[in-house]
Amino acid sequence: MTDRRSDPLSPTRRNLLRASAALAGAAAATPRAAGADTGDNLPPNVPAWMKTQGAPVLSPPYGEPSPFEKTVVRRQRTRTQTQTAASSQTPLQDLHGIITPSGLHFERHHAGVPAIDPAQHRLMLHGMVERPLIFSMDDLARFPSVSRVHFLECSGNGSWAGLGTEATVQQTHGLISCSEWTGVLLSTVLGEAGVKPGAAWVLAEGADASAMSRSIPIGNALDDAILAYAQNGERLRPEQGYPLRLFLPGLEGNMSVKWLRRLKVGDQPFETREETSKYTDLMPDGTARQFTFVMEARSVITFPSGGQRLADRGFVEISGLAWSGRGRITRVDVSTDGGASWRDAVLQAPVMSKCLTRFRCPWTWTGEVARLQSRATDQTGYVQQSKAELVDARGLNSGYHLNAIHEWRLAPDGAVTNEV
């Protein structure tokens, strides 16, 4: 059987050639005629900032973005109820590539952000282990380190009830971010302690005022779980769990317990508050799905998206993000007619496991109403479903694990709104 990716006559190859041709044509048509714009700093004039020396290089203690980017900020989630139990959302519509700057990573707190002295912080490991141990931060730093790029998504990312037409992608999907995480594999530390036969679960407890706690299957703990002390090349920020957090790639965000202080190995789940009364999925028949850890394949178009406006008809590169907690994204389809027809998007390298993947799709907008959707497929063959299909299966009693196909409406005037 011929691999279509290596076949020069395959549909994928032809789509890429068409995309390249469309992009070349668009580039040729993009430049404006001389004199089309007016202003003292516009060509052919020499701009003012070329006529004077730039600001002194004072080497500030910590760099900041350009003041012209001051609108690119996290925003509080509308359902936030208190100053300590709160969340804020990443401005996906303003970002490029796949890495989220640390200062824009979404936040979710259950009891505020503790101020922890790393010199006094300790990680306690006990329970069904041969050698109960207590680690300082220096102890953990002596173990072999790993660096992995993964997404982190809150299981409550999105709204099953829907949001208004004015919603942006920050509001509909902003409880997800992607970073490089550095630390020591949890399996390494568990190996140091020696896990006893029969061990099946690990309790992770945080050092915040809520003592946030979750039960972790031993299989996940021994797989790719990380005891992370750094993010994007610098030590964790306080709101991301400084000085130490658990990181579980691909699993719902609340399991990646921040400010990690205790790991207890046991033979059964510990049935904490956050996995009984919270973070369970109430089904239509009254039963509850518990331990629905994995964040299934999902995608969203970030341009054009809610709150944006296309200046003119013609070439548009549709762009967005796709991800799956089960591994790599293998395909993204894009529709401009509400799902009546689909075509392949190009996956932009790098494409990594349990990581955001940027997709692009060249398109020519004629000025008519368009309904923009994206649909992700992951390496297991799972295909992102419509919201109607998910509601048929799960009902509307749960507030978690919404991974449905999302739609934006593009009006003839270029305005993009959320489809409700």
Print the SS3 string covering 174-217: CCEEEEEEEEEEHHHHHHHHCECCCCCEEEEEECCCCCCEEEEE
Q: Which of 8-12, 24-28, 127-131 has the highest mean pLDDT?
A: 127-131
Backbone angles phi, psi at 247, to 5 degrees: -130, 120
Average pLDDT score over residue span 204-224:
96
Residue that the structure tokens 């008519």 belong to:
368
Residue that the structure tokens 């630390």 belong to:
183
Distance CA 74, CA 235 (A): 20
DSSP H helices in 325-386: none
First to last CA, the chain: 43
Backbone angles phi, psi at 21, to 5 degrees: -65, -40
Q: Does 27 score more than 60 pLDDT? A: no
Domain spans, the chain = 1-70, 102-284, 298-418
Specify the CATH number for 298-418; select among 3.30.565.10, 3.20.20.70, 2.60.120.10, 2.60.40.650: 2.60.40.650
How many other β-carbons are positioned within 10 Å of the β-carbon of residue 406? 26
Query: Partners of 375 in the beta sheet?
Result: 333
Region 102-284: CATH code:
3.90.420.10
Chain segment 356-415, per-residue pLDDT in tens: 999 999 999 999 999 999 999 999 999 999 999 999 999 998 889 999 999 999 999 999
Q: Does 86 score more than 70 pLDDT? A: yes
DSSP state for residue 402 in the 8-state scheme: -
| pTM reported for the whole predicted model | 0.88
Give the pairing of strands 260-266 and 122-127. Answer: parallel
Q: Does 22 score more than 90 pLDDT? A: no
At 82, list the tokens: 């208190």
Q: Which of 81-95, 166-180, 274-288 has the highest mean pLDDT?
A: 166-180
